[in-house]
Every structure is written in structure tokens, then in C-alpha cells.
Amino acid sequence: MPGHEARVHIDVQDPAWRAVAGPRTILLASPRSFCAGVERAIDIVDELLRRRGAPIHVRKQIVHNTHVVGELEARGAVFVDDLDEVPSGSTLVFSAHGVSPAVRDTAAERGLEVVDATCPLVTKVHAEARRFAGRGDTVILIGHEGHEEVEGTFGEAPEHTVLVQTADEVATLDVPDPSRVSYLTQTTLAVDETVEVIAALRKRFPQLRGPASEDICYATTNRQDALRAIAEEADLVLVVGSANSSNSVRLVELAQRCGTAAARIEDVGELRPEWLDGVGVVGLTAGASAPPRLVDAVIEALGALGPVSVAQRETAHETIRFTLPPSARQ
């Protein structure tokens, strides 16, 4: 989807930028930027706008990136927090993060034509929540309180689900039957921190059961692995992504745990000259909901300060693609 935002150029005549001018190496993490679930969600709204015209209503942000949301808004997408804001009979898209059954029921009661853009990997977690709760387990959901994905998964079996955010919280868990406990995770968590929480759960509940395959999605894992490949060599890591993007925030935290200074930026306009003082090697990546062109703009901006050599470090080659639902192709 083409971008509409203006390029932000560094003013090399500004004393603050001139003071940090010079040659640099950029270590470019790969994979980075859009994942298959994000591309599918954006394509669904894009295709509905193209085929049906505006307005197309979307519950919450389709993905957690302000540039993506702004571009779709400019084309006629209407993002709402409450279904009461959607006129009866309208088309409504559920975001990539998924929704609870209660939201689905409300949409049906209001006669809304729903097009579901939930990432298939999030749908997998929802199905596991129903299955685990259905067999009588307490479901421990590892995730961040208030995140839309967590709210949707929790809503599948709220009376049987307990949210845990850290390993320290495991010690205070109170469950009806310690022999009937399962766990699930948000798909965008830090892999190493999640391993610690699961280990604490296994120690507390020796009969703990979990999903057949891990819930943290391939894209989150791949982007964290790629970041590790560049973090220790970099003087500074820049992560392009929005503040509410869980996977982007986790990348910043991971770089910091690797001992490297790191910052998240919405786009090149948030780059600060003081961050580059004494920095010869910049590690650069982007969260799974950040458009690739925003990374290109950062490289261009750093190039305005002096010669740059770009070395890409690819740790995985992603080929996964998700098809659009029939309702988005009609």
C-alpha cells in the first residue's frame, strides 16, 4: 500500500545534527517489518475499500501502527472503539488482534456484516482456550493486561481463565485444581521472558499442559532472533514501530537486555541527534506492523549525515502467506 506521508529530512545545517555527522554502518535485521498476519489484515480493509467504497468500519486499529491507520482513514476507513458507533447493517472489520465471543454476539445482534481480519495464528490461540477450558482446566493466559489480543482470548472462557504477566505472579496463583492447569500465551511476547514464566508455572504445577506448538508466532520469534544477531555488534539499536505495538516494544527491551542502547521510533521524525553521539554502528529493525518504507526513510536520513554502509543480517526467510477471507474478495 503506497504511503502518503512526507519524507522527513535531517537538517544537516542544524548544529545538533552537524555535531553527529560522519560515516556509519547500518546493520539491518531481517526479517523485519510486516508479517503475513499484518499484510492480510491491511489487504482486507484495502480490498473492501476498493470493491465496496467508503466507509468501511473497523473495530479498533486494524494493526498497531499509526501510519497504516492514517492511510486507511484517508481512504475512508472508520476506526471505532465501540460497536454502537457503527450504523446497523454496515460492514465491520475485526482487527488482526481478534475479538471475544461477546463482541461477535453484539455485532450479530446489531445486524453488522462482519469481515474477520483476525490473524490465523491468534485464531489458533482462541481455539486452544475453548478446548482447554472445555476439558475442565484452569487456563493460565500469559500476556499483557489491556492488550486487545489478550482481551479477545480471555473472553473465550473468562470464568476459567487467569491472566499472568510475569514469573513472579505465578507464586500467588490460586486455582481450583492444581492438577488441571493449562497455559496459553499472547502471540507477540518476548520469547526469553515467556520461557521464564512457563518454567515457573511448571515448577508450581507439575502436571501443567500447554499447546502442541508454541503460541508466540513465527514472526515475533524471527524478528527477535534477527535482532539478537545485530544487537551485540551495534552501538545503538533503532526499532521502527508504534508505541502500542507489543512486538516493537519487546524488540527494544530485548536489545537492552543484550546490553545495547535502544530506542523505538514511530518514524524518522522521532530520531534524535543526541542518540547518535559516538555511535558508529546502528542496528535497525522494525516491528511486524511497521511499513518497510519507514525503515528506508531512516536509512536515507542517516545517509544525510555521512556515508553509510548497509549490511543485512538475515536469520530466517519468511514465505508464509495467508489468504483473504471470501467476504473480502466478493
For 222, how many CA atoms within 13 A lie in the half-sphere containing its CB? 21
Q: Is 187 annotated as a binding residue?
A: yes
Q: 47, 149, 151, 156: which is the annotated catalytic residue?
A: 149
Query: What grid cell was written down for 109?
Result: 445482534
Q: Is 245 annotated as a binding residue?
A: yes
149 is catalytic: yes
- Residue 82, judged by CB atoms within 10 A of its CB (0-12, 13-18, 19+), counts as exposed
Q: Is 317 annotated as a binding residue?
A: no
Q: Which residues contact 182 (CB under 8 A, 6 or more apart)?
A: 132, 137, 138, 139, 140, 208, 209, 210
CA distance 133 to 156: 9
Q: Is 258 annotated as a binding residue?
A: no
Binding site membership: which residues? Answer: 35, 64, 97, 119, 147, 187, 217, 245-247, 289
Residues serving a catalytic function are 149
Please report, in range form, the residues annotated as the binding site for isopentenyl diphosphate: 64, 97, 147, 245-247, 289
Annotated binding site for [4Fe-4S] cluster: 35, 119, 217
**Bind-site residues for dimethylallyl diphosphate:** 64, 97, 147, 245-247, 289
